[in-house]
Chains A and B, each alone.
Chain A
Amino acid sequence: MTPQVLMDGLVAGAMIGLGAIGITLTYSILRFSNFSHGEFLSWGAYLVLAVASGLGYLAGGPAGPIGPFSFGWTLPVALVAGIALTAGLALVVDALLFGPLRHRGSAVIILVMASFGVALTLRSLLEFVFTSKPVYFTDALQIARPLGFGLRATPDQLLALGLAAVLVVAIHLLMTRTAIGRSMRAVSENRQLAGIAGIDVRMVIRTVWIFGAGLACVAGVMSGLLVQIRPQMGLDLLLPLFAAAILGGIGSVPGAMIAGLIVGLAEAMTVQLVGAEWRAAVAFVILVAILLLRPRGLFGRPE
């Protein structure tokens, strides 16, 4: 096994971790497994691609790369717009479907099934608009640079790792040190008590969708930047995302990121030690093992 496995696993794990934060937040507050979360990754990537392409068109051609990276100024600008658009998409889905179901007091299984429906609809819409053909943010070829200890990484990969680290610290601080974070934790623990403590539960739910979808957009763009953009990308990441959210402990932001890195590393090691065809099975094995051995995950609170 080469040390490069570590770098490959960390990069994949950072994407999984960011997506898993969204899953863990929505699960802990809305109390259902949202199987459409993966589609927010795909939609985020495609929306950013569309905005970046539009900006490039308006600027009279593709923007030149920034420093050592493979992309130009249009991508970070489009990312900001994409986060807002993906958050908007999540809010629309909630307003049209999940919100009315919650208001009606629907059982968890109804919400879960509804999320399957949302996933299918969103994925089909992507295929309809953008086709199934893979697309890329950039055609530029990046050469991995040596980092020492036998590790190599491209500047884009290092940027993705750095951005994931910054985001996870920011979200953790937001959850523990700010009023909205405390409100989210309060709603997560006891929605009814949160209401009579003066917390606007609906506003908290909207905030959770915004954060979850925003982080999914960033994870989708990272995946698109480092691999490729496909309508199926969210679906392919869904199992690792859930494995990470459950391994980390539902409701724990640092737990989701650490577990994402563990899942990413396990996948990378499996590819090298066993074979690439077993990669998809790793998340499933981790999920089954954690549910059997420690259902509350590494950092989750006991029910």
Chain B
Amino acid sequence: MRPAADAGTVLATRALVSGYERDLPIVRGVDMAVRKGEFLLLLGPNGAGKSTLVKTIAGLVPVHSGAVLHQGADVTAMEPHLRVRHGVAFVPQTENVFTTMTIHENLLVAAQVLPKDRRAGRIADLCAMFPDLARLKALRAGQLSGGQRQMLAVARALIVEPSVLILDEPSAGLAPKVVQEVFANLKAINAAGVTTVLVEQNVKAALAIADRAIVLVEGEVRLEGDARALGDDAVMAELYLGSRHRKAEARP
């Protein structure tokens, strides 16, 4: 059954099939709808197609069939930079900042999408939101720690005041304490009204901050529902956490 795409839907995919090679689809007919202000979590085992799905939405992976809709408009054939201008912001898992540029230059590059008279103000807003970035703004992004880099990547994406912020595993490679900080930031950003789509492997922590979750398996939507309820779902535990649960149970 297709999810309802009403007036409150910010982002949707319709029978989306995509992948890097024509005869090898990774995302296989995904229908999803993200409502305004919602915090949607995309879960699934490795190779389920989560990253490919969000990269397809950002315009980085070829669409074989189906459609990506943003604010009701079909953006399937739109180039990535135009999707950003349309309000779709994406933070990749790796290589998500310009390492040879300073923090300030990274923000300036992103702010170029905005009219000239709004750029400085918007950078100031982001610096107020992430005081560490303001303090280190002359530092090259390549010199930042993993957590600071994620912070910069998120700030870079937020500069354009997107209607939807999509993040691909922002916790990957970060220390647990830094992960908590990143998730707290994401929750605060969502609470401020930015619709958020998060791909995560850190299931427990992510379910705690999300409103709703979709579980992808082999490129298809296998489960969908309220994030908290899904955390207790037996099918989900078997699908996604199965091996880990079994290992835990097997321990003496």
A189→B110 contact, CB < 8 A:
no
CB of A192 within 8 A of CB of B112, answer no
Decide if A271 is an interface residue (CB 8 Å cutoff): no
Contacts A190-B95, A195-B60, A198-B110; is A185 near B79 (CB within 8 Å)? no
| A interface secondary structure, majority | helix
Choose from A182, A193, A195, A202 the contact partner of B95 (Cβ within 8 Å).
A193
Interface residues on B, range: 20 to 34
B99 within 8 A of A: yes
Contacts of A201 in B (CB 8 A): 81
Cβ of A170 under 8 Å from chain B: no
- A236 proximal to B (CB < 8 A): no
Q: Is the CB of B84 within 8 A of A198?
A: yes
Known A195-B81, A197-B84; contact A183-B112, beta-carbon cutoff 8 A: yes
Docked complex: B77-109 residues within 8 A CB-CB of A: 79-81, 83-85, 89-90, 92, 95-101, 105, 108-109
Residue B98 contacts which of A179, A190, A202 (CB distance < 8 angstroms)? Answer: A190
With a CB–CB cut-off of 8 A, which chain A residues contact B108? 179, 182
B105 touches A197 (CB 8 A): no
Interface residues of A in 171-213 (CB under 8 A from B): 179, 182-183, 185-186, 189-190, 192-202
Q: In the assembled complex, which residues on chain A have CB atoms less than 8 Å from the CB atom of B58?
A: 196
Question: Which of B90, B100, B156 is within 8 Å of A301, CB to CB?
Answer: B100
Contact B84 A189 (CB under 8 A): no
Q: How far is the CA of A190 from the CA of B106 in the complex (A)?
A: 12
Q: Could you tell me if A196 and B95 are in contact, using CB atoms closer than 8 angstroms?
A: no
B113 at the interface (CB under 8 A from A): yes
How far apart are B66's CB and chain A's nearest CB, in angstroms?
21
Q: How large is the interface on A (under 10, 10 to 19, 20 to 34, 35 or more residues)?
A: 10 to 19
Among A190, A195, A197, A199, residue most surrounded by chain B Cβ atoms (within 10 Å): A197
Contact indicator A197/B79 (Cβ below 8 Å): no
The answer to whether A185 and B101 have CB atoms under 8 Å apart is yes
Q: A199 and B92 in contact (CB under 8 A), knowing A182-B101, A192-B60, A193-B98?
A: no
Which chain B residues have a beta carbon within 8 Å of chain A's beta carbons?
Answer: 58-60, 79-81, 83-85, 89-90, 92, 95-101, 105, 108-110, 112-113, 156, 160
Sample 9 A-B pairs with CB under 8 A, ordered by A number.
Answer: A179-B108, A182-B108, A183-B109, A189-B100, A189-B101, A190-B98, A196-B83, A197-B84, A197-B109
Extra pairs beyond A182-B109, A189-B98, A196-B83 (12, CB < 8 Å) = A183-B112, A185-B100, A186-B101, A190-B95, A190-B98, A192-B60, A194-B81, A196-B81, A197-B110, A198-B85, A198-B113, A201-B81
